[in-house]
Amino acid sequence: MTEAGVTDPELRGAIEAFLTSRGAALVGFADLTVLAEDVRKGFPRAVSFAIRLTPSIVAGIKDGPTEEYAQEYTRRNKELNVLADSLAKFLEEKGHRAAPHTSTTEKLPDDLITPLPQKTVATRAGLGWIGKCALLITPQYGPAIRLNYVLTDALFPTAMPVTESRCKDCHICVDICPGKAPSGKHWKVGMKREEFFDAQACQKGMEKVSAPKGLSKHICGKCVANCPHTLKSLKA
Classify residue 188 by burial, with Cβ atoms within 10 Å: 0-12, 13-18, 19+. Answer: middle
Give the tens place of pLDDT for each residue, 189-225.
999 999 999 999 999 999 999 999 999 778 999 999 9
Give pLDDT, residue 112: 52
Residue 38: exposure state from Cβ atoms within 10 A (0-12, 13-18, ≥19): exposed
Cα–Cα distance for residue pair 60/58, rounded to 1 Å: 5
Task: Please compute the mean of the pLDDT values over residues 137-164 and round it to a whole number.
Answer: 97
Q: Which domain holds residue 92?
A: 9-235
Residue 4 lies in a domain: no
Residue type, 129: W
Tell me, yes or no, whether 226 lies in a domain: yes
* Mean pLDDT for the stretch of residues 142-162: 97
Q: Tell me, yes or no, whether 3 lies in a domain.
A: no
Look at residue 129 and tell me if it is in a domain. Answer: yes
How many structural domains are present in the chain?
Answer: 1
* Mean pLDDT, range 180-186, rounded to an integer: 97
- Which tens digit of pLDDT belongs to each residue from 1-30? 333 445 788 999 999 999 999 999 999 999
Task: Tell whether pTM > 0.85.
Answer: yes
Is residue 1 assigned to a domain?
no
- Long-range contacts of residues 13-16, Cβ cutoff 8 Å, at least 24 apart: 15/47, 15/87, 15/90, 15/91, 15/156
Which has the minimum average pLDDT: 52-61, 104-113, 177-186?
A: 104-113
Q: What is the pLDDT of residue 217?
A: 73
Quick check: is 109 in a domain? yes
Q: Which residues contact 169 (CB under 8 A, 6 or more apart)?
A: none
Instruction: Identify the three-state secondary structure at position 61.
Output: coil
In a domain, 202, yes or no: yes
